[in-house]
Structures are given as structure tokens and as C-alpha cells.
Amino acid sequence: MKVGAAIAEIMKREGIEILTGYPVNHLIEFCADINIRPVMVRQERIAAHMADAISRVTSGRKIGAFCMQHGPGAENGFGGVAQCYGESIPVLVVPMGYARRLRGIDPNFDSTAVMKPISKSSEVVMLAAEVPNIMRRAFTRLKNGRGGPVIVEVPTDMWNEEVPEPLDYQPVLATKYGPAPADVKAAARMLAAAKRPVIYAGTGVHWAEAWPQLKALAELLAAPVTSSLGGKSSFNEDHPLSLGSGGLAIPKPVRHFLDNADVIFGVGCSFTETSFGVRMPKGPKYIHSTLDPMHLNKDLRADIGLVGDAGLTLDALLAELALLVPSPRDAAPVVAEIEAQRAPWLAEWMPKLTCNDAPLNPYRVLWDLQHTVDRDNTIITHDAGSPRDQLSPFWKSTTPLSYIGWGKTTQLGYGLGLAMGAKLAKPDKLCINVWGDAAIGFTGMDFETAVRERIPIMSILLNNFSMAIELKVMALSTEKYRTTDISGDYAAMARAFGGYGERVTRPEDIIPAIKRGIEQTRNGVPVLLEFITSKETQVSKFA
């Protein structure tokens, strides 16, 4: 058995069904030979984003995999790997490498060395007989502990080397670990005694599929719940105890309850300090539940640390709390306080959310979108900047894994690949990416990938012909040289690629266009709806 065939066979045994990438990498042919579907993109970063989404929307039950050619291919893929690392996403990355005699010779790109700082582990195949061992280590790291990309580099002269038969490989185990019982008891006592507890849910709740336990804890304690952008949709945001999600832009109840909390319980989160996350106050006590002990006391001091799987942690906490809080507390006062904050905040924003002006207000577009789609059967993601900040505070996610949130790094153009990967993993869902005219400039050519590979997503493009959020900091250069001006007829581009493209300019046409777009996706056609919007820069941000 050749090295390439052995790697492909191991991937298949581990449940990988799709390989995203861009030639030339010989793994593509070896995978196609055993019916692992190759999906070819227009640039390597999109392949990483698609693999990223496959892992995300399946809670890691299916591992995303992507490959690229050596040299410039691996160089172009670097950003996608870095994004997976920043967001803790388990993805198998198989770059082709230079021939062994050329490895490490300047200026040849050494994926194993260069990607090591942005990966969970990084190995190169130098001996064919070691393939089972290398892949066993790779998948063990992908399936256990905090997520992250794993690199297995294959030099160009290794693919046809012979691996001993029969192939000695069995799928690896996925294990879980939980917090120390004494720490759980201390956390339960602190939560039971808290007068104003708040639960902050992170992405780890999704990886643990601990959504029922999170709901049970909130209802037992009558504790309001907010989330990071990555944790958004882990708690039904139509639930009376939901505050909405945290980010750069947030609903007002999030800020109010965090600032007035006496205990904040962060579950499945890193509490990483980031410009694109909600600011944590300094006054409350903190209980920090995280899978990675390296995150304890990293950016925020923890009073109690619970290291382990979010599901096991919540199970243990609920068992201890049953002895301290025998019946669910009355949530009515908390619900009333949430509504007292939410109602005036929403009323303040309603003129934008229902604006009848043209150019369209982007808030109106996203408000109509939310009230037109079936949210329970939709997976939506945003791009960096304005689309993220205009979508996240107002979009209410109702089912787990229906929102792909991100923000620790902010690569423009990320959302398109996420939507395509989500559609590959969940073909029955309506998969939407929301982006701006800046983001489409980075990855818009890969809309052709959606058409060619028959991935019927729906792209919502907010086009204001400008880098609007940069206007304030680039006023002089814009006045003299029009540095923030950008343009394009992107609906025409979508049609040229063979997809469905429609440009919308009037508010009364927003909902009909969305309905037409949904119908086109049902017919198997990728959709790009281009909404001509104003240069809206206000976001729901609180100091």
C-alpha cells in the first residue's frame, strides 16, 4: 500500500467524508479512489474555512480535512490554519512538502516548522512505515482535549513509498475528563449563595453538546445566560432567561447583568481578552470552567477553576446543586429585569431595524432576514467588521449550532467558506453567510466554487461601496484620494458564475428577494443577494 493510499484509508476509517483543497496534492487522487469527496476551491484559505465549519457544526463528530500543494499553496493556506488555531477548531491539515532532500533549505517553505506555532501538533512523514503511528497521534490530538489544527506534512517523494500491509490502524478513542469533586462542591456553594449569578457560555458547550445541562442549570438557579460569539446558539435566545450574546456589539441586557453580577460562571470558555468580545467587569467572583488549564488566570483571575469537559462539569454541578437548591427558583423577577432592559434598548434601535430609507439600512435587511427564514433550520454566520456587529446583537438563535460565531481573529472573507462547509455537513439546513463589500473582495471568487461543487448556500451581501467603519480614521485620505471607496456589481458576478444573483435597492423588495433566494437554494442553486445599503456605522456598544 502506498503512503497516499494508507493516509486516505486511515482518514476514511476515522469517518472523514470530504477533503477540501487545491491542487496539486496527491492525497486528492488517493481520497477520490476510495470515495472521499474532494472539493476544489479557488484559494487555499477557503479550503481551511470549509473544513473548519465541518468540524464546528458536527461538534467534532466529523473532522474537517484539507490539503494543499507545497510552497505557495502551503503559504497561502497559512491564514486559514491560523484562524482554526485562534478559534480552537480541530482540522486535519495535510500539506504536500518539498522532497526530503530539499526540506529545510532556504527559501523553501517548511510547513511542519512554520505552522507549528499555530497548530496543536505538527509532523512530517519521513518513513513510510511510520504512517500509522503519525496518523494515530494526529487523530488522537484532533479528538481529545481543546481543539486545534493538526499538521501532517507529506514530502513530494513520499507518496508512492510502500507502507507495510496489512495496514495496522484502528480508529482512535475520544476521551473526556471532568473537574475535581472538591472544586465542584465549592462552585456549587458559591452559585447557590449568589444573589445575582450570570452564566457566560462559550464554544465548549457546543463541543460537549451540553445544551440540555446549560438550560437545566439556568432554570434551576433562575440565572440569566449570555454567551461568547462562539458560544452563541448554545442557549435558546428566545428563552426568557436569555440576555443575548456578547461581542464588540451587544444587547443592553448583557452589559447590565454582567456589571451587576456578584458571581459570573463561565462555562466552556477561555475568557480571552479580545477587542471583539464582551468586556468582563472586575467586581464579581468568577467560576471558570474550561477544558484547557492553560486558560485559567490567563486574562482574568478565577476564584474557582473547573478543568474539564463542559458537559461533565455541568452534570457534576447539577448533582451538587440538587442538594443545595432542591427546586427551581422563581425566575419571574429576573425575567422582568431582563425585559426592563431589553424593551427600551430595542425600541431605541427599532427605527434602524424597520427603516424605510433607500439606500437600505443594513439593520433593516438583517431584521427582515431573521423574520423570513426558519431559524430552527438555518445556520448563519457573519464576516468581520460591520456584518458581525450588525447581526450578532439582534439575531436570536433558537437551536444549537445554528450560528457560527467567531472573533478572536478577524480575517475578512471567512464567512463564505464557513457557510459552504456547513452546507456540506448539514445539507438539509439553509446555510447563510452575511458579508460586506470589503469581505467579498477577499474571497468572492470562491462563490464559483459553490456553483461548481453544487453547494447551494445563500450569501447576503451588504454593499455600501465603502469601507464604512474606516471612514472616521481615514477621513483625510478619503477626501484627497478616495481611499475607502470600493465598488462592484456582485449580483452580476454571481450570475456570471452560474449562480442566482439579485440586486435589491428598495425596502419593500427585501423580503420577496429573500424568499426567492431560499427557493433557489432548494433547487440546488447557490444564491447571492446584494443589498445596496447606507454607510451605517453605529453599533450597539456600551462602555
Residue 239 class from Cβ within 10 Å (0-12 exposed, 13-18 middle, 19+ buried)?
middle
What's the angle, vertex CA 528, arms to CA 406 and CA 81, rounded to 5?
Answer: 35
Neighbours of 346 (CB within 10 A): 16
Spell out the residues 6+ positions from residue 456 whose beta carbon is closer than 8 angstroms to its own.
423, 450, 520, 521, 522, 523, 524, 525, 526, 527
Confidence of residue 508 (pLDDT cuts 50, 70, 90): very high
pTM of the model: 0.96
Question: What's the distance, CA 327 to chain centroid?
Answer: 36
Gap between the Cα atoms of 258 and 312, Å rounded: 25
Domains in the chain, please, with CATH?
A: 3-155 (3.40.50.970), 181-332 (3.40.50.1220), 354-532 (3.40.50.970)
Q: Which three cell numbers stand for residue 58?
A: 458536527
pLDDT digits (tens, 9 = 90+) for 417-455: 999 999 999 999 999 999 999 999 999 999 999 999 999
Averaged confidence pLDDT in the chain: 96
Omega within 30 of 0 (cis) for the link into 197:
no
pLDDT digits (tens, 9 = 90+) for 259-318: 999 999 999 999 999 888 999 999 999 999 999 999 999 999 999 999 999 999 999 999
pLDDT digits (tens, 9 = 90+) for 383-427: 998 999 999 999 999 999 999 998 888 889 999 999 999 999 999
Gap between the Cα atoms of 64 and 90, Å rounded: 7
